[in-house]
Structure 1
Amino acid sequence: MAGQVHLDIDGPLARVTLSNPGKFNAMSRAMWRELKTVFEDLHGSVDVRCVIVAGEGGHFCAGGDIAEYPDFRFDEVALRDFHEGDVWGGLGAMLACDVPLLAQIEGNCMGAGVEIASCCDIRVAASAARFGAPIARLGFPMAPREAALVAREAGAATAREMLLEAAVFDAAEMKARGFLSTVLPDGTLTTALLARAQRICALSPQAARLNKQALRATQGHAVAESDGAYRYADSAEHREGIAAFIAKRPPVF
């Protein structure tokens, strides 16, 4: 099985770690399913007061595990099941979790990484972190609900640049655009996130949960799937983009 989502709980503090060694923690289908289970369990926990979401080995998440894509992406039904079942299952569980979520972002935060970070309440990054969603190079769009999530959290202009221009931004720019709460020098992130998490853990867990419910009620998290959103599954550009990535060659669109 490629990749894992680790859950470690120490008293009121939980740490969720994305781990896919050698792939900058790119999300496999199994990892999306694990993410859903982990956050459903955290939502139901009466003891956990704060969750830190991080990646392993100096990177947050570099996107999806593209090596898996030829197995399902070229069939419309299978592609819809991946995005609406696996991916949105994980993201939806994060959004529905009433425990405060802190994103600890280092290194690559691309595509799926931006989506996962967008589900967190407070996002803190190391100065060397990089953000983007350059999937146009792979010949496919971001799924509707995922695009709406990123546009809401990162801003519509930023989402457009990421998706239409394959733009990649540094941490300082993403803070200026309002996506990040804080940018810190490399090597100081873990200590700083722990201190913030401990402050949250010392506050009222009931207040935190009710605040999250109230904030969620002000935002339309539910975005309906658009008819035909996955009809591109068997398209030439979709196949070419993924084949070129796997073959480590420039795509020809």
Structure 2
Amino acid sequence: MRKLRPVETVEGRIRVDVVGTLGRIVIDNPGRHNALSLAMWEAIPDAVGQLEADADVRVIVVCGSEGGAFASGADISEFDVVRRDAGTSATYEASNAAAFNALRKADKPTVAVIRRFCMGGGVGLAAACDVRIASDDAVFAIPAARLGLAYPAEAVADIVALIGPSRTKDLFFTAKRIDAATALRIGLVDDVVRDDELEAAATAYVARVTALAPLTQKAIKAAINAAVAPDGAEAWDHARALADACFRSADYAEGRAAFREKREPIFLGR
């Protein structure tokens, strides 16, 4: 395992490590059920950037520290300082939005591996990922209305894209908690497994993704992002350029050769 540059704070840190083709962003604040301090929010874009720049990494997993919650949301205990008024709240919201956007815009597939608490900003992080796998003991809620605060508009849009406008309104209006089975039924997560099977399920999923063509995955992700959250013609042009690049790639030649030779292809992302 290669450990990359973490951001250390008094209350917690964002850990970054690489195991083979897997890059992990670990929310590490177990004393507060992996709540995220402002410094931790600010660290996430850098963590994503490190893994995006690492040629060995094929999939990025976001998870809580070992055996703990995914994320219990923002660390409310520091709000009287870092989110005390409109000005500081705007700065805080910008840090939230940058963290979500880094995951949303990552070229590589991103997977949220969720156990126990996934609250508030934790739901936002999970929704910004491409795929969500949860343990059967996971609990989800967005309690913004209990505090009288807002939620980044783009992060709301991520949740709408997953579960639709009506169910998103219900989660925000009521601040209610839902269990993993309900989250699966409404589409907030993509798979639910027993807690003791979560790591194996996530490992198997990552292995399946990394065995396939990364340029195809990158092109498809760009096309889907352009479709569900359009940024105008530029997003579509980018998606089409990535699709064209697939047909010029050595991986496409390898895929055809492997089919002819009745063997598993070896994709290198070029």
Matched, 1:207 2:216: yes
Aligned to 2:173: 164
Q: Does the aligned pair in 2 maintain the 1:27–1:64 contact within 8 Å? A: yes
Partner of 1:141: 150
Selected match of 2:115 from 88, 106, 114: 106
SS at match of 1:187: helix
> How far off is 1:20 after superposition?
0.8
Unaligned runs of 5+ in 1: 223-253
Q: Distance in 1 between matches of 2:72 and 2:199?
A: 19
Q: Is the 8 A contact 1:43 1:98 kept in 2?
A: yes
Aligned to 2:71: 61
| Structure 2 portions without partners, runs of 5+ | 1-8, 232-270
Report if the CA contact (8 A) 1:4-1:18 is conserved.
yes
Q: Which has more radius of gyration?
A: 2
After superposition, residues 50-199 of structure 1 pair within 5 angstroms as 50-56=59-65, 57-84=67-94, 86-199=95-208
Q: Which residue of 2 aligns with 1:15?
A: 24
Q: Deviations over 1:6-30 (max 9, x none)?
A: 1110121112111112111111111
**How far apart are the structure 2 equivalents of 1:40 and 1:158?**
32
Distance in 1 (CA, whole Å) between partners of 2:138 and 2:230 is: 27
Match for 1:78: what amino acid?
T
Q: Which amino acid aligns with 1:210?
A: A
The whole-number CA distance in structure 2 between the counterparts of 1:154 and 1:29 is: 28
Native 8 Å contact 1:149 1:221 kept in 2? no
Cα distance, 1:103 vs structure 2: 1.1
- TM-score normalised by L of structure 2: 0.78
Of structures 1 and 2, the one scoring higher in RCO (CA 8 A, sep 6+) is 1
Read off the aligned partner of 1:113 and give its amino acid letter.
G
1:157 CA drift (Å): 2.2
Structure 1: how far apart are the matches of 2:84 and 2:78?
A: 11
Once the two structures are superposed, residues 78-105 of structure 1 have per-residue CA deviations (whole angstroms, 9 ceiling, x without a partner) of 2111112x11111111111011111111
Query: Conserved in 2, the CA contact under 8 Å of 1:154 and 1:178?
Result: yes
The structure where helix makes up a greater share of residues is 2
Kindly provide the amino acid, as one letter, of the partner of residue 92 in structure 2: F
CA distance in 2, matches of 1:217, 1:44: 22
Residue in 2 that maps onto 1:32: 41
Q: Which amino acid aligns with 2:50?
A: D
Change (3 A) 1:130 1:221: farther
What is the CA-CA distance between 1:221 and the residue it aligns to?
6.4
- 8 Å Cα contact 1:24/1:61 also seen in 2: yes
Relative to structure 1, the CA distance from residue 211 to residue 45 in structure 2 (aligned partners, 3 Å threshold; closer, same or farther) is farther
**Aligned equivalent of 1:48:** 57
CA displacement 1:100-122 (0-9 Å, x = unmatched): 11111100000011000001111
CA contact (8 A) 2:161 2:228 kept: no
Taking every aligned residue pair, what percent have the same amino acid on both sides?
A: 32
